[in-house]
Amino acid sequence: MVDGTKKPYVVAVAIQVIYTGLFVVSKAAFDSGINTYVFIFYRLTAATALLLPLALISSCRRRSTTMATTMSCWLVFKLFLYALLGNTFTLNVYNGSLKQTSATVGSAATNSMPVATFLLALLLRMEAVKVRSRSGLGKLVGVALCVAGVLVIAFYAGPSIRPLAHHPIFAHKPHSVSNSAWIRGTFLLLLACATWSLWIVLQVPLLKEYPNKLMATAMQCLFGALQSFVVAVVVERDLAKWKLGLDIGLLAILYSAFLGTGALMYLQAWCAEMKGPVFVAMWSPLALVFTIVCSSFFLGEAVHLGSILGGILLVGGLYSVLWGKNKENENKVTPVVLEEIQSQGEGTAVHEKHEEDELTSHV
């Protein structure tokens, strides 16, 4: 049995292990030849099959509460647009780019998401930077490190580390990737992380308008599956590419739908509720370390020094932005605490003065 105080730490590590499996298994499926657009359609369809019944059951149980409010046409349209951005566009761009790069680069790119979220919130005036403060400098340093990490990954390969396994489990025929494809894939990965960050920012006002998180997620998966079907049909018209067998492609679809969507959604929400969202984000570099080892062992990928150095810079940028946010929150809390102490002190002084007056009157 795990001690209750240690459960959030165990869950945080488990989240990164699931992410690692998602990177490695998806990359193995793409290397085996499965079409990325067809893969996304099947993934979102399976996720919808998992989440929609759970959301309907949950809504039926809460009919007597405000949580079970009906969706307006405008809200449904919003969910459709958010699904287009966060599911259809982001996942198709991310997985297409993952096919052109490596699982290690894909994992490293996700560490830029908090930085991208901060920049988007800054543009939307949801965040502010005080350049002369330590928290503001921390955020700016984090952005600079993130940009440097992306440039290193894109333009510097460096020497490679030999794969850990001579006969990897998910062995595939090695295919060469041109420098231009690698650079394009790296920046498209960053674009996908930026659009995913924008989607996260947009979820805040959406969930205030419609607080049923499970139904909102299920509806976006449903719309994303329909949109991805249209995209996949336009891109891939060979019916043979749509057939699934008992291979790594089917494993990747089931893994990404049930573990990569269902389990991750629940575990991240639970961990964020117990320790806060910053606690969840600070563990994400673990997925990069796990992915470097697992992609070398299971996929037989040669990990380049540039990817490792770029990943370290991205992790540094992540922690710098998180440090700046933490300092900013401390500065916000401190004046409030001081004000409460002062008000309590004034109240005590008034109470003591009142008692003194009463004593004097009795005398």
Say whether pLDDT at 323 is over 70: yes
pLDDT in tens, 79-98: 999 999 988 999 899 888 88
Say whether pLDDT at 194 is over 80: yes
Report the pLDDT averaged over residues 30-58: 88
Report the pLDDT averaged over residues 326-336: 63
Mean pLDDT of the chain: 77
Confidence bin at 337 (pLDDT 50/70/90): very low
Q: How far apart are CA 279 and CA 273, in angstroms?
A: 10
Q: How far apart are CA 198 and CA 211, in angstroms?
A: 19
Most trustworthy range by pLDDT among 11-20, 135-144, 303-312: 11-20
Classify residue 160 by its DSSP letter.
Answer: E
Q: Which of 191, 210, 171, 188 has its CA nearest to residue 77?
A: 210
Q: How far apart are CA 97 and CA 105, in angstroms?
A: 10
Give percent of the chain with pLDDT exceeding 70: 80
Q: Confirm whether pTM is higher than 0.85.
A: no
Range of weakest confidence among 34-38, 73-77, 172-176, 287-291: 172-176
Confidence bin at 41 (pLDDT 50/70/90): very high
Taking a C-beta distance cutoff of 8 angstroms, is the pair 279, 270 a contact? Answer: no
Report the pLDDT averaged over residues 310-321: 83
Say whether pLDDT at 225 is over 90: yes
Report the pLDDT averaged over residues 266-294: 77
User: Sign of dihedral through CA atoms 195, 198, 204, 205?
Assistant: negative
In sequence order, what DSSP letters do the residues of 72-116 get, joined into one string?
PHHHHHHHHHHHIIIIIIHHHHHHHHHHHS-HHHHHHHHTTHHHH
Q: Name which residue leads in pLDDT, 341 or 192.
A: 192
pLDDT in tens, 125-161: 766 677 778 878 888 888 888 888 878 877 877 777 7
Say whether pLDDT at 325 is over 60: yes
Taking a C-beta distance cutoff of 8 angstroms, is the pair 149, 314 a contact? Answer: yes
Classify residue 170 by its DSSP letter.
Answer: T
